[in-house]
Homo-oligomer: A and B are copies of this chain.
Amino acid sequence: MDDFRALKDIRLTVIGIGLMGGSVLKALKSAENRPAMVTAVDTDPDVLAKIEAKGLADIATEDTASAIKDADMVVIALYPKQAIKLVTEHSGDFKPGCVVTDICGVKREVMDEIPKLLPEGVDFVGGHPMAGREHMGFDYSVPDLFLGCKYILMNGPKKAVKLVRDFADALGAGKIVKADPEYHDEMIAYTSQLPHALAVTYMLSSDARGVEDFSAGSFRDFTRISMINEEMWSELFLENRDKLGDEIDHLMDILNALKVFTKSGDRESLKKMMKMAAMMREGIKG
């Protein structure tokens, strides 16, 4: 008997229909490998009405317990603390053999908490699709949000990982990246949280001066990610406070060196820094 289930044969429940959950529904709607049944769970009746009007799910409901009880796979599309709270409250509702995944941008906390809250026979595979937009909420969700994105997966039982991988493929993910929570959070502190922290800091540093007349494309690209959702990002920063703090410390040492070279007129050292940075950036594809 084949222990591996195909995505198209399962009943999938998506919990939390914001930017990410909504984009999951929209991507799956036209996916070749669409699950046999898709249930959407949200607490906002307006969002549920929109899902029904657009035919984005077979069932759109506020009843989390029933939606979990029926599911072969559950995608928790909530912020980390809410995700843990949901599993705590509904741990008895997951049926044996169910595969659970999440989309949280920091992984140590959810990976520490969620597996031990789930009953035996229910597998958790942490996930982090590296996709997003400046604006949050269902109304900004789009079918191609995940198209070509890196989809990071934590370890888990083979058949559970296979199912989540098929789910990521169905969304249009470009590359599946395997990582453990520690390494993930360290890398994300650098590749995602630090740029957002710097863009926020940079904008606050403007002192509300009239910068508009002196800004070009480089300013716009550099500051786009300062338009940040403070609810989500403050939670992500704090869950990863040790790693992000280390990254900021490290960056400040280098920024201080650049400042000293600038103030002291050490052109050769400045040129070395610039040349090295350009080389490193050019070495990163995509």
Contacts and interface: CB of A to CB of B under 8 A. Distances in A.
Interface of A: 130-132, 149-150, 152, 175, 177, 179, 184, 187-188, 190-192, 194-216, 218-231, 233-235, 237-238, 241-242, 244-245, 247-252, 254-256, 258-259, 262-263, 265, 267, 270-278, 280-282, 284-286
Contact of A221 (B197, B198, B222): B222
Find the residue from A150, A204, A228 having the highest chain B CB count within 10 A.
A204
A263 to B, nearest CB: 5
A149 B190 CA distance: 33
Nearest to A131: B216
Main secondary structure of the interface of A (DSSP, over half): helix
B228 A205 contact: no
A88 B206 CA distance: 37
A274 B198 contact: no
A280 B204 contact: yes
Contacts of A224: 218, 221, 281
B206 A280 contact: yes
Nearest to A237: B262
Given A234-B270, A234-B274, A252-B252, 15 more contacts: A132-B216, A150-B214, A187-B209, A191-B215, A192-B214, A204-B276, A205-B247, A206-B280, A211-B284, A222-B222, A226-B281, A227-B281, A228-B274, A228-B277, A245-B259
Contacts of A131: 216
A241 B267 CA distance: 11
Contacts of A262: 197, 237-238, 241, 244-245, 248
A142 to B, nearest CB: 14
Find the residue from A209, A234, A241, A249 having the highest chain B CB count within 10 A.
A234
The 8 A-B pairs at the shortest CB distance, nearest first, are namely A230-B274, A203-B277, A200-B277, A187-B214, A130-B216, A195-B222, A230-B271, A191-B214
A262 B246 CA distance: 11
A202 to B, nearest CB: 7
A275 B233 CA distance: 11
Contacts of A271: 230-231, 234
Nearest to A242: B263
Contacts of A221: 221-222, 224-225
Contacts of A192: 214, 216, 218-219
A256 B267 contact: no
B245 A249 contact: no
